[in-house]
Amino acid sequence: MGGRRRRSILEVECCINRLKRNRAVATRYDKLAVRFEAVLTIASINEWLPRS
């Protein structure tokens, strides 16, 4: 694997691990895909919003 590809894979893995801090994302509490997507979106927004 090239260095760029390895770095991209690492970035994706780190992103997923940050999202898994949210219990609902890690355990996939909601079984409906629409609800899980909403939880994932909210978790993403919370992760990237600046902390005050």
* pLDDT string in tens for the chain (52-residue length): 678 888 889 988 988 888 888 887 778 777 788 988 888 898 889 888 877 6
Identify the pLDDT of residue 1.
64
Per-residue pLDDT at 49: 85
Using a cut of 0.85, tell me whether the model's pTM lies above it: no
User: How far is it, in rounded angstroms, from Cα 16 to Cα 10?
Assistant: 10
The span from the CA of 52 to the CA of 50, in Å, is 6
User: What is the gyration radius of the CA atoms in the chain, in angstroms?
Assistant: 13
What pLDDT is recorded for position 39? Answer: 87
